[in-house]
Amino acid sequence: MLKVAVIGLGNMGWHHARNYFETSEAELVAVSDINPEVCQKAAEKFRTRPYLNYQEMLSKEKPDAVSIVVPTSLHKKVALDCIHAHIPILIEKPIAGTLEEGDEISETADKNNVPIMIGHIERFNPAVLALKELIVTQKLDQVTSILVRRVGIYPSQIKDANVIIDIAVHDIDICNYLLDGKPTSVHSKAGKALNSERADFATLYLDYHGIEVFIQVNWITPVKIRELNVTAVNGYAELNYLTQKLKLYESNYERTFDSFGDFVVKFGNPNIKELNIKNAEPLKQELISFLDCVKNGKKMLVTAQEGLIALDIALKAIKSCEKNQIVEV
């Protein structure tokens, strides 16, 4: 059984600790946070040892793997400390606040032969995996466009990231995954509606070699919506990240000519299928995958390089907002 620890006990870090505590795949040996009350509460809840200083925790506990769930601005320092201690790490997305910091994390890990996984949690959503399978098996063939909405109220725990870096990066990574590549260009717009310090709404237009992707994100909508829709030549799919439901509309049409000899496409009613998906907590699946890769020396399912690509696109989207122009990727 692997010995694991969690650094950072905000909302997401708490759930990392909970899942490690609940799984039989690992032993949660310690948690660390600079807030004494939060740290002690987590230690009591998950029957483990608390540390206010994560470096002391690394030295004393010598965990086999660590989740880094601190603010993005601290990713580099904490990650490098773990890497120099030769401890495999899962870094919550994004990999870092800048490409330079992300590159340093990745390069240092490679030099020290330390495995890294980036916490792009939606990769482990059962509905996303089922949608990927529809595309791979060509039940959704020749994708023409993807429409994404990830909106809701402002999360109080976010202190150092705007809406593009914090949440649009999820769907950037998912679109890279679904389309097996990255866009050629990005054009985006953003603004500050309720928060004067950082962008709290944005729209992104990504061109994946002719496949159009539209992503809408915000922290101003009073209802939480997490949806992704795919249009292909032979059908259409609706995915709900929250309910993990996936509905497929299979096109029913024929190409023919009318009485005047003009080409027409005649549509019949689509064949509608709601896929049978076994619900699962994406974070739990992510952590089990991470532990499996650490234990058995497998390649991480979300690599540092993939994390860097998603971050690069998000940063280029911000640049596009600032310059009000299309930015090449």
CATH code, domain carrying 203:
3.30.360.10
Contact (Cβ atoms closer than 8 angstroms) between residue 239 and residue 135: no
Range of the domain at 12: 2-121+284-300
Query: Does residue 130 sit within a domain?
Result: yes
Q: Which two tokens stand for residue 146?
A: 């993807």
Q: Answer yes or no: is 175 within a domain.
A: yes
Question: How many domains are contained in the chain?
Answer: 2
Helix (H, G, I), strand (E, B) or coil at 285: helix
Statement to judge: residues 132 and 92 lie in one domain: no
The answer to whether the CB of 52 falls within 8 A of the CB of 33 is yes
Cβ-contact 128, 275 below 8 angstroms: no
Structure confidence at residue 196 (pLDDT): 78
**DSSP structure class, residue 122:** G
Residue 305 lies in a domain: no
Q: Is residue 151 part of a domain?
A: yes
Same domain, 130 and 275: yes
Q: What is the pTM assigned to this prediction? A: 0.93
Same domain flag for 293 and 259 = no
Examine the domain organization and report whether 127 and 107 are in the same domain: no
CATH of the domain at 97: 3.40.50.720
Tell me how far apart the alpha carbons of residues 264 and 254 are, in angstroms, rounded to a whole number: 8
Clarify whether residues 136 and 97 are in a common domain.
no
User: Residue 135 carries which side chain, given as an amino acid letter?
Assistant: I
Type of residue found at 2: L
pLDDT of residue 155: 81
Give the whole-angstrom CA distance, residue 201 versus residue 192: 7
Q: Is residue 292 within 8 Å of residue 282, measured between CB atoms?
A: no
Verify that 113 and 178 share a domain, yes or no.
Answer: no
**Whether residue 258 sits in one domain with residue 209:** yes
Q: Could you report the average pLDDT of every consecutive run of 10 residues in the chain (329 residues)?
A: 97 97 96 98 98 98 98 96 98 96 98 98 98 97 98 79 93 98 98 89 98 97 97 96 97 70 71 96 98 97 98 98 96
Tokens of 88: 């495999």
The answer as to whether 296 is a domain residue is yes
CB 94 within 8 A of CB 108: no
Cα gap 13→258, rounded to integer Å: 62
3-state secondary structure of 250: strand
Are 257 and 127 in the same domain? yes
- Specify if 202 maps to a domain: yes
Cα–Cα distance measured from residue 167 to residue 247, given in angstroms and rounded to the nearest whole number: 24
14 vs 39: CA distance, rounded Å:
10
pLDDT at 161: 79
Q: Which helix (H) or strand (E) holds 245?
A: strand 245-250
